[in-house]
Amino acid sequence: MIKNGHGDGYEDWVRDFEAERERRAALGDPGWERGAPLPAEIVRSLQKFQVGEDGDGSALIGKADRAGDAAYSRAIRLFVAEEQNHARLLALLLAAGGAGTLPGHWSDAAFVRLRRLLGLRVELLVLMVAEVVALRYYRAVRDGAADPLVSEVAGRILADEERHVPFHCLRLAEGLAGLPRPARRAVTGGWRVLLLGAAVVVAADHGPALRALGVSRRSFVRETFRSSAAMARAMADGPAAGPVRTPAGV
């Protein structure tokens, strides 16, 4: 498996996603029977993130199909399946804590509308905002939750998100490659501004949960924004990484 460059295009990513699917099947689910005593603020926070993970990905899949790369289309379908598995894990975790899921949430609806405005590049740029916010959020849950089942579920989702970010960075680097460097820098600079705004909104909306997890609103925003600098460089300058796990601290 390559670690940088394009290699066999997205065939490497297809193999990476398929290997992860097999590993996940062999590992099986966490022990839901243990239960999970969830504080009310954590329940409300997880419910909102569960809505964000839940979706059929049809718009993204359609745009990937129209891009004309069969391997990329296959990789996107496998990516969507992983996101749907996150929604399933969170729903089962909430059930283990005696809570249900939400039918929807305004923040998810806003992201979906924004993502569907234009083509694949815009969809991925907006999706990357959610992915980078999710990296910091699930790390906070993994490291700050008092219950081992909550930490395990968050850790599983975080490991997937750490693989998703370089996957999307690669495609965005390819999509922006035809623009002059100043234009690429302008696009990724605008993306970081959008990310900063999203991090502020999430920190405000999930403040009580973050506080219970030992993370202040300010540090959540600061660390989320700081982590985006390397991603913006990968998208603007390339070449982006091939299948490789992002360090958990990033």
Q: Distance (Å, rounded) from C-alpha 3 to C-alpha 12?
A: 10
pLDDT level of residue 58 (50, 70, 90 thresholds): confident
pLDDT digits (tens, 9 = 90+) for 94-119: 999 999 998 755 555 555 565 555 67
Cβ-based neighbours of 82, under 8 Å, separated by 6 or more:
17, 20, 21, 160, 164
Cα separation, 87 vs 62, whole angstroms: 21
* pLDDT for 141 beyond 50: yes
Closest to 168 (Cα-Cα) out of 63, 95, 34: 63
User: Please, which residues bridge with residue 241 across strands?
Assistant: 4
* pTM of the shown model: 0.87
Per-residue pLDDT, averaged over 128-154, amounts to 96
Answer whether residue 5 shows pLDDT above 90. Answer: no
- Give the residue among 23, 136, 38, 18 at the shortest CA–CA distance from 90: 38
